[in-house]
Structure 1
Amino acid sequence: MPLFEFEGKRPQVHPEAFIAATATLVGDVVVEKGASVWYGVVLRADDCRIIVREGANIQDNSVVHGTPDSVVEVGAGATVAHSCIVHGATLGEKALLGNGSTTLDGTALGAGSMVAAGSLLTPGTQIPEGVLAAGVPAQVKKPLAGTSAEFWVEANPPYYAELAQRHLKGVSPVD
């Protein structure tokens, strides 16, 4: 896995985290126990600090970065789905950012909330806990309940934790 020190700051990865071989981590990155960082992900902490909390997952081809001196945090059990951009944002515990969504500087996604695929959180947007937000720009649509809460927010983190263990044991390069 490509890990790069930048100006004396180097990624810190818990030994029980999964980092895909094609993910790139640069600078002041912390990846906690049980977190997973998937194929093609870039965590570039040259101007900021990036913390991926325990059990969080950042899926394929997502990019995480921030503004100078900011802290970008992906909360415990949170999901950054495929091809997202997380810039200068905070995602609460078990929050889910849907495929292809973008968060901009100063945004926050509350614990247990979900942002629908393809949404845009404009600078400073604050999404409260336990709601569904969607659109360009993203707006709160309703409280998150039923299948969306059970499947996406609750079931996704343990599924990705188990899948990461399978990849740790079962992925190997092909000659």
Structure 2
Amino acid sequence: MLKRAAKLLPFARGQLCEGAELQLAAVRSLNFYTAPNGPSVKQVNIEDEWYNRQRNLFPLLEKQPYYPVDVFVAPNAVVCGDVDIYGGASVFFGAVLRGDLNKIRLGNRSAVLDRAVIHAARAVPTGLNAATLIGEKVTVEPYAVLRSCRVEPKCIVGARSVLCEGSVMEAESILAPNSVVPPARRIPSGELWGGNPAKFIRKLTAHERDRVLDDVANHYYNLAAMFRREQYDHGTAWRDVEAWRQKLVDQGEYQWINFREQKYLMRLQHEAEAMEKLAN
């Protein structure tokens, strides 16, 4: 089967050569996990998807997210439900803020980095407010998880860390990466904590409290501002584009070219030729 796929001819002007249907059927029937170098592409025809239909900001249970114009929310992030995001804050790629069971508040110039998850429970064991409250200039690093906790201004939550229900980080404190703060645990101001469960490591230096915490927050604020300048506004212009494309198709002036599939077939052909040379 692989040798048969290796005899594919090059494509010209975006058209498939004679007998291409049989050749495509032969290639698609290959086991992609035994093909040279493993699978090259998924069998999902992503080129058939013209527009990204994901909604990254949407109401949930009659609760509408609040955010001013200077907030950056990445296209593949999700902010839904009872979520308040204040000026200059940013939600980076793949992050999730899910305000379904309780409120989430993200303060000014705070940053939720890639793949972090923030949500809230209905109630916490301490009996205090179960909302997730994040103050100003807080940096939540990638893959961190925050649930019904409180983070006061100018804190850094390390990557892959977990803040459990009822936990508190006081102002100007740092949680080291891969740490777990148990329920109802408090991290005092001006201290570095880490571990599982999180324990006191040392006091922060004056330089860390006066410069580092601000510099980290300002760095992600400026980075988010750059992304926001490049981001397109949401709208319905795609409907006019779709109507125009369909008109061209109906008039025979436009033809869909499956560049992704053609590229894969050519790559498969080159790999088969290389294997044949090695075999000889």
Per the TM superposition, whether the score is higher than 0.5 is: yes
CA–CA distance in structure 2, aligned partners of residues 152 and 171 of structure 1? 29
Alignment length, in residue pairs?
172
Residue type at the aligned position of 2:227:
H
Q: CA RMSD in A?
A: 1.5
CA–CA distance in structure 2, aligned partners of residues 152 and 105 of structure 1? 28
| Structure number with larger C-alpha Rg | 2
Secondary structure of the 1:154 match is helix
The alpha carbon displacement at 1:170 in A equals 3.3
2:99 to 40, 45, 56: 45
CA–CA distance in structure 1, aligned partners of residues 197 and 67 of structure 2? 34
Residue in 2 that maps onto 1:164: 224
Residue in 2 that maps onto 1:32: 86
Residue in 2 that maps onto 1:96: 156
CA–CA distance in structure 1, aligned partners of residues 202 and 108 of structure 2? 28
Residue in 1 that maps onto 2:177: 117
CA–CA distance in structure 1, aligned partners of residues 212 and 142 of structure 2? 14
Residue in 2 that maps onto 1:68: 122
1:5 to 25, 35, 59: 59
More strand by share: 1
Taking structure 1 as the reference length, the TM-score comes to 0.93
Secondary structure of the 1:29 match is strand
The alpha carbon displacement at 1:154 in A equals 2.3
Residue type at the aligned position of 1:126:
R
For the Cα contact (< 8 Å) 1:57–1:77, is it kept in 2? yes
Secondary structure of the 2:99 match is strand
The alpha carbon displacement at 1:144 in A equals 0.9
The alpha carbon displacement at 1:12 in A equals 0.6
Moved over 3 A (4+): 146-152
Residue in 1 that maps onto 2:48: none
Q: Does 1:127 align with 2:171?
A: no
The alpha carbon displacement at 1:148 in A equals 4.5
Taking structure 2 as the reference length, the TM-score comes to 0.59
Residue type at the aligned position of 1:43:
L
Question: What residue ranges of structure 2 are gaps of 5+ in the alignment?
Answer: 1-54, 124-129, 233-280
Q: Does 1:85 align with 2:139?
A: no
Kindly, what percent of the aligned residue pairs are identical? Answer: 27
